[in-house]
Structure 1
Amino acid sequence: MTALTLALIVLITVVDILSPPDIHLGPLLIVAPALTASFAGARATTGVALIAFAALTVIGSVRDSLTSANIETQLSAQVLVSVLIIGLRVLRDRHERELARVRSVSEAAQRVLLRPLPERIGPLHLASVYLAAEAEAQVGGDLYAAARTAIGTRLLVGDVRGKGLSSLGDAALLLGAFRAAAHLHADLPDLAAYLDGSVCWDLAQLAEQSRQARLARQAALRPGSPEAVDEGGESFITAVLLDIPDDGSLVRLIDCGHPPPLLLRPEGITVLAARHPAPPLGLGELAPAEYQVETFAFRPGDRLLIYTDGVIEARDAQHRFYPLIERVIAWQADRPTALLHRLRRDLLAHVGGRLDDDAAMVVVERLP
């Protein structure tokens, strides 16, 4: 592209010199640094601007005197516009460097908080995909984690109320609590109760901090001024907990207000809807839950697709929801990683490239 702009400078210079005296093409030389700024950095743009200025000087010396009012005006205008273009390119370079730093921090946070699921854990093959709704973010309120226990594998897939970076703290809390307790509680209901208690305690602390901050704001208000409105609301986390023993052909599940997983088999798809769903985590103090384990067959070769509501609630331009089951029926013969790649591309195409909510999907296959 730089060679193209240099060729453009040479072309404009030659044509201008050979043109009749009343035709002036020299001002068109400003196009060269403007084009360079669209694909190159400030240094390259400055270099092309200097070459364009030199070409305009050559045109002026050949066709007219450099001290004429016409050439002086063209040279002055060339300098002013070139300085403006270079300045805008410098600002863009600075913004791109800042954006690169943000991306690096986001990637580091993702590696620490949302650790990649292992491709193989026990007799299971895992694959996952995460799509954050927040611009330039790679993590948000959706979460997943896996842990080995003495008898098998435990999985957690959850969705914090809200989206993007604002829900990152609650996601970090739940993931930390799961990783610390997954191998300590033998029973799945005990683990669910522990996670609910952890979330409730953290949300209570946040609510108290919010109350103190609200009181401080109200105390700072002048008499007669309108009171501050508390924009906070209920916080909770929907989640599904799965216990998959190494020996056997079943999966145990507790659904805490989360979309039901899909069981994929060659003969069809089954929605693993819980008969006794529990409330989302974080609402235990309002409605104490009795966690009941649901048991489903999960034989070698079977696959589970676990997802968050950001997938099934994604809408296209006509406000139609994403038809997840239809897509999975068409592609369920693919391997787990290939299936998720297809779903990711199709989901983004469905919404026009930008999700309104975080979305996560996990595929679990029991190997022969």
Structure 2
Amino acid sequence: MSGRRAPRGPRAPGRGDVVRNPGAAVVGLNRWLPWAAMGAVIVADRVTGEDYGLMPVFAVGPALAAAAGPRRRVVHVAVVALVLCAATATFNGRIDSIRFSVAVVCVVVLTVAAWFVASARLRAEDELTSVRAVADAVQQVLLGAVPARTSNGALAVSYVSAIESAHIGGDLYEAMPLPAGGLRIIVADVQGKGLPAVRTTSVVLAAFRESAPYVGALDEVGRRIERSLNWRTDGDRFVTAVLAEIADDGSVDILNYGHPAPLVRRSNGLLELAEPGSPGPPLGLGALTDAGPGRRRITLDVGDRVLFHTDGLTEARDPSGTFYPVLERAGEPLSDPDAQRALDRLREDVARFTEGPLDDDSAFLLFQYLPADGPVPPARSGSTRVS
């Protein structure tokens, strides 16, 4: 494809992203908990008899109501608690007793406290919503869309942050079509987590996007990223990465900077790791050694796929501590004819293997080699959230 840049596909992280959200189940439980608690008090009062005087315990209802829902829910539960207190006192013949008065005071005092707790919770939720909106904006800027179709193939991506409700972390990806045809790709994992990692991510992506379409040699792209890291992160950050250049004839040059090797799935189903001949240092540590990046050159046939990924895949563990066996398990999900659905299935298989939440960020970029006049893959967004 000459001169013109391939149209970009839909928003990147998407339908391959598997995000566990146990919070939804907790919120659902909290909504029923006040009623269940007051029901339990009624049962306990009937079992223990009137001598124990459990009426003040009805105050647990409005107290628990502060954990979920609007403030008016606290008031609704408090009204029901007072009605239950009165009904219980009447049933036991103690409507004019000091015990009933104490129960009413307990319900009222805890209702006022619960009102203020609910108000503080709602303010915190509003702030969290604003933070998530900012995270969405940062994600749009840093991990934008990649082209769904290039001059030589099709692309699909998937990104998952290990931090619940976070949309971006220390892993990154980008694919830049070249003016004369072909494609350059980066998948990387920056040192650290949190805001420092996001800053380093922005430095790496900016350097790659500025140089990848125009610099003649792939090595020079790596050197420019290295210089940007040294200039803009005070030289205290490093990044493991894979840089790849995929030509229209199917030849692939891979530079490996201390990163997990890409997984190649041939059209006949065979799997292989595109491991470098010798390991290379991460980007940002080049000044400490004379060694250059690890190198590997492969050739793709029509229909072959290359999965570029971060160590969130290779270091995923099951409950016994066994690492995810990429060569044994990844082939079947990646056989799906639809590239994006293949990443969806791979995410699901990793989730089944680990049987628990992610403990590391994870980025996938899947390239499928197709001739220039091959079919255009269906446009699908990349975000699936599993509650």
With the length of structure 1 as denominator, give the TM-score of the two structures: 0.78
Count of residues in Structure 1 that have an aligned counterpart in Structure 2: 338
- Residue 241 of structure 2 corresponds to 239
Which sections of structure 2, spanning at least 5 residues, go unmatched?
1-27, 375-387
Alignment of 1:131-210 (within 5 A): 131-150=160-179, 151-203=181-233, 206=234
Does residue 274 in structure 1 map to residue 303 in structure 2? no
Identity of aligned residues (%): 34
Q: Give the one of 297, 300, 313 matched to 2:299.
A: 297
Q: Give the one of 366, 377, 387 matched to 1:363.
A: 366
**Structure 2 counterpart SS, 1:56:** helix
- Quote the Cα distance in structure 2 between the aligned partners of 1:3 and 1:351: 31
**Structure 1 counterpart SS, 2:226:** helix
- Residue 377 of structure 2 corresponds to none
Change (3 A) 1:122 1:46: farther
- Quote the Cα distance in structure 1 between the aligned partners of 2:270 and 2:40: 66
Does residue 119 in structure 1 map to residue 148 in structure 2? yes
- Residue 265 of structure 2 corresponds to 264
* Cα shift at 1:145: 0.6
* Cα shift at 1:147: 0.9
Of the structure 1 ranges 174-183 and 154-163, higher mean CA displacement relative to structure 2 is found in: 154-163
Of the structure 1 ranges 350-359 and 308-317, higher mean CA displacement relative to structure 2 is found in: 350-359
- Residue 96 of structure 1 corresponds to 125
* Cα shift at 1:245: 2.1
- Quote the Cα distance in structure 1 between the aligned partners of 2:264 and 2:209: 25
Conservation of the 8 A alpha-carbon contact between 1:140 and 1:168? yes
With the length of structure 2 as denominator, give the TM-score of the two structures: 0.75
Q: Give the one of 68, 72, 87 matched to 2:97.
A: 68
* Cα shift at 1:172: 0.8
Q: Deviations over 1:48-98 (max 9, x none)?
A: 212432453466578768653222112112222333444443333333323
**Structure 1 counterpart SS, 2:184:** strand
Conservation of the 8 A alpha-carbon contact between 2:62 and 2:110? no
Which sections of structure 1, spanning at least 5 residues, go unmatched?
208-233
Change (3 A) 1:72 1:141: same
**Structure 2 counterpart SS, 1:115:** coil
Conservation of the 8 A alpha-carbon contact between 2:65 and 2:114? no
- Quote the Cα distance in structure 1 between the aligned partners of 2:153 and 2:220: 24
- Residue 215 of structure 1 corresponds to none
Q: Give the one of 332, 341, 349 matched to 2:344.
A: 341
* Cα shift at 1:319: 1.8
Change (3 A) 1:365 1:267: same
- Quote the Cα distance in structure 2 between the aligned partners of 1:163 and 1:349: 25
Change (3 A) 1:62 1:235: closer
Give 4+ residue runs of structure 1 displaced > 6 Å after superposition.
Answer: 1-13, 20-25
Does residue 79 in structure 1 map to residue 82 in structure 2? no
Conservation of the 8 A alpha-carbon contact between 1:200 and 1:281? no
* Cα shift at 1:43: 1.6
- Quote the Cα distance in structure 1 between the aligned partners of 2:213 and 2:69: 53
- Quote the Cα distance in structure 2 between the aligned partners of 1:252 and 1:322: 27
Conservation of the 8 A alpha-carbon contact between 1:189 and 1:293? no
- Give 1 or 2 for the bigger CA radius of gyration: 1
**Structure 2 counterpart SS, 1:185:** coil
Aligned residue identity for 2:253:
R
- Structure with the bigger RCO (C-alpha within 8 Å, sep 6+) is 2
Alignment of 1:32-71 (within 5 A): 32-33=61-62, 36-37=65-66, 39-57=68-86, 68-71=97-100
Conservation of the 8 A alpha-carbon contact between 1:137 and 1:165? no
Conservation of the 8 A alpha-carbon contact between 2:308 and 2:365? yes
